[in-house]
Amino acid sequence: MSEREAAELAGVFKALADPVRLRLLNMIASAEGGEACVCDLTGPFELSGPTISHHLKVLRNAGLIEGERRGTWVYYRVVAEKLTRLSGLFALPVLAGT
C-alpha cells in the first residue's frame, strides 16, 4: 500500500468514523429502490436538518454517496464501486496483495 493510497483511504475512514454518518450510510444503502430522500433521513435522529446535511456532505465528499436534486429534495444513493472496493480491502487475500 503506497503512502498516497493510505492517505486517501484514511480520509474515507475518517468520514466513516462517526456513528451518525454510519447510520445514514446504512439507511441509504438499505433504502427501497436504492435511494433515500433527504426528507426521510432526518426523522430518525434528534439532530437539526443542517447537521444532517453536514454529515451527508462529508459522506459525499468521501465518495461514499452521491446525491441528485429532483424538485424540492435531494435523493441519495451509495456509490457501489466505492463500497465494493472497501469490502475487497478487508478480504484477507486481497489486503495481503495490495
> What residues make contact with a copy of itself under the rule CB under 8 A?
1, 3, 6-7, 9-11, 13-14, 16-23, 25-26, 29-30, 78, 80, 83-84, 86-92, 95-98
Give the residue from 83, 68, 82 showing the smallest Cα distance to 36. Answer: 68
Min CB(12)–a copy of itself separation in Å: 8
Min CB(95)–a copy of itself separation in Å: 4
Judged by CB, which is closer to a copy of itself: 18, or 67?
Answer: 18
Judged by CB, which is closer to a copy of itself: 37, or 95?
Answer: 95
Backbone torsions φ then ψ of 67, nearest 5 degrees: -120, 150
**Helices 3-16, 49-61: crossing angle, 10 deg rounding:** 160
Strands (E), 1-98: 36-37, 65-70, 73-78
| Cβ-Cβ contacts under 8 Å for 4 (sequence gap 6 or more) | none
Min CB(19)–a copy of itself separation in Å: 4
Judged by CB, which is closer to a copy of itself: 29, or 74?
Answer: 29
